[in-house]
Amino acid sequence: MDVRDDATQAPTTGTDDAPPAVSRRLRLITVIATFGGLLFGYDTGVINGALPYMTDDLGLTAVTEGMVTSSLLLGAALGAVVGGRSSDARGRRRTILALAVLFFVGALGCTLAPTTAVMVVARFVLGLAVGGASVTVPVYLAEVSPAERRGALVTRNELMIVSGQLLAFTSNAIIARVGGESGGVWRWMLVIATLPAVVLWFGMLVMPESPRWLASQTRFNEALDVLKQVRSRQRAEAELAEVSALAVKEEQEKLGGRQDMKATPWIRKLMFIGFGIAVVQQITGVNTIMYYGTRILTDAGFASDSALTANIANGVISVLATFVGIWLLGRVNRRPMLMTGQMGTTAALLLIGVFSLVLPSGDGRAYAVLAMTVTFLAFQQGAISPVTWLMLSEIFPMRMRGFGMGVAAVVLWLTNFVIGLVFPSLVSGIGISNTFFLFVVAGVFSLAFVKRYVPETKGRSLETLEAELRARFS
């Protein structure tokens, strides 16, 4: 199953001459929906700075510290598949509304947690929301977007994820400096996440449902009404004809469930590729930087307060790199962009390991490691992460897009969970240098997988892409 670039493939759909009001409507839908990404980013990033203070108040050990961090990831694995199934069965919009409630309840539970056990449960609930949002928001955006803008609009969710992480890093540093060593300062760090959850819920109340989901339910008139909100009238009618033809075909084939993963060869191959893309994104070790970045910098030579402040650089570079990634997605193919990101992150991890091993403790090693974590995040957030979430939202058939992406995201979150759980123990057991060398080896295997198996998806409508992948892998 050797898949090559198809750089000569022309877009199947031309640019839209939609009036300004239609473009504004599409931007508003994107902004509101991506508050799910902001919450995803904040809730995964806030633990980075809150953990040292929480450790003292709750009496965490190395094991329970790993449980608090990784319980969100385990919840996200379950939330991804449940959210995917829910978005296919009940709609993208209704699922995002339910996720907003979970975000609020989970964040409030973490803030008020009196014991480690309650914190683990609350973080698990929060993980359900994070996992559901990681699947449903990109699918919603992909199905609302015109083909030529899909890369840029879906990647706005990645921009909001890293913006949420930057917000977490910044607010952690400010709260730590204002609150100092006072008890419960971490609770203030956690409670901030309730605010965007409220915005997401109220915002989605007035947003439309995905036109492609409506078409998959044979609600063609409603699908056309939504398309007219985000396309010119002529483009909306032409797009509905393409979408409805595919919906009828998939309905006749009864396509859209777990049995198709086993019984349909081309879907089975797509699931294999989806699983691989998910593992590639996580096996770089990106979330060791996100969850344990403060500890990595402290081990490198920074004082605790300085590490919190320096960690903001990781958040800033993630946001800036994502802007670059959005720009690149409109100009270069997905597959070579993913491979470039893999090469950059692997080289940065190799240098983090080398610097930690050969440089003496002090400012020199501290700033060398910081420079490499920033370089790592530039390649990760500027190439690997945006391409990952975009391609996972593109490659699966319409009637099982939520479910397919959900199952792939389960693999992603379980990989994340395992890495988050064992990272502190690995550092304690074999040292930070050898731990990063393990990620380097994984990076080499990931690069080989992308080169061998991952298809190009740029420049096609979702319907044309589905037809191409069906023909290629059948």
Q: Is 68:123 a contact under the CB 8 Å cutoff? A: yes
d(CA 157, CA 134): 9
Cβ within 8 Å of residue 415, ≥6 positions away: 278, 279, 282, 283
Q: Tell which wins on pLDDT, 57 or 300.
A: 57
- The CA-based dihedral angle spanning residues 296, 301, 307, 309, taken in that order and rounded to the nearest 10 degrees: -140
Q: What angle separates helix 35-45 from helix 20-33, to the nearest 10 degrees?
A: 30
Residue type, 182: S
Helix (H, G, I), strand (E, B) or coil at 200: helix
Q: What is the pTM of this model?
A: 0.78
The pLDDT tens digits of the residues spanning 95-134 come to 999 999 999 999 999 999 999 999 999 999 999 999 999 8
Q: CA torsion sign, 362 to 365 to 366 to 367?
A: positive
Residue type, 313: A
Cβ within 8 Å of residue 391, ≥6 positions away: 277, 334, 338, 454, 457
pLDDT above 60 for 6: no
Closest CA to 377 of 433, 448, 329, 316: 316
The residue whose two tokens read 């050969």 is 358
The residue whose two tokens read 């997605």 is 329
d(CA 131, CA 63): 23
Segment among 150-154, 194-198, 204-208 with least mean pLDDT: 150-154
The pLDDT tens digits of the residues spanning 385-421 come to 889 988 998 888 877 888 888 888 888 888 877 887 7
pLDDT above 60 for 15: no
Instruction: Please report the pLDDT score of residue 30 as a whole number.
Output: 93
Q: Tell which wins on pLDDT, 195 or 414.
A: 195
Region 245-268: what's the mean pLDDT? 69
Query: Residue 459: how many CB atoms within 10 A of its CB?
Result: 21
Cβ within 8 Å of residue 61, ≥6 positions away: none
d(CA 286, CA 76): 16
Q: What's the half-sphere exposure (Cβ side, CA atoms, 13 Å) at 302?
A: 19
Region 175-189: what's the mean pLDDT? 78
d(CA 472, CA 409): 24
The pLDDT tens digits of the residues spanning 228-251 come to 998 888 888 888 888 888 777 766
Q: Is 460:468 a contact under the CB 8 Å cutoff? A: yes
Q: Which domains does the chain have, with CATH numbers?
A: 20-207+254-473 (1.20.1250.20)
**Residue 7 — very low, low, confident or very high, per pLDDT cuts 50/70/90?**
very low
**Residue 292 — very low, low, confident or very high, per pLDDT cuts 50/70/90?**
low
Instruction: Please report the pLDDT score of residue 2 as a whole number.
Output: 45
| 3-29 residues labelled b (16+ CB within 10 A) or e (exposed) | beeeeebeebbeebebeeebeebbeeb
d(CA 75, CA 69): 11
Instruction: Please report the pLDDT score of residue 11 as a whole number.
Output: 42
Question: How many residues are listed for the chain in this entry?
Answer: 474
Q: What angle separates helix 233-253 from helix 220-230, to the nearest 10 degrees?
A: 140
d(CA 40, CA 44): 6
Tokens of 148: 């030529």
d(CA 372, CA 345): 9
Instruction: Please report the pLDDT score of residue 425 as a whole number.
Output: 78
Q: What's the half-sphere exposure (Cβ side, CA atoms, 13 Å) at 129?
A: 31
How much of the chain exceeds pLDDT 90, in percent?
29
- Looking at residue 148, what DSSP letter applies? G
The residue whose two tokens read 């790199």 is 321
Q: Is 224:134 a contact under the CB 8 Å cutoff? A: no
pLDDT above 70 for 13: no
Write the secondary structure of 404-448 as one string of H (helix), E (strand) and C (coil): HHHHHHHHHHHHHHHHHHHHHHHHHHHHHHHHHHHHHHHHHHHHH
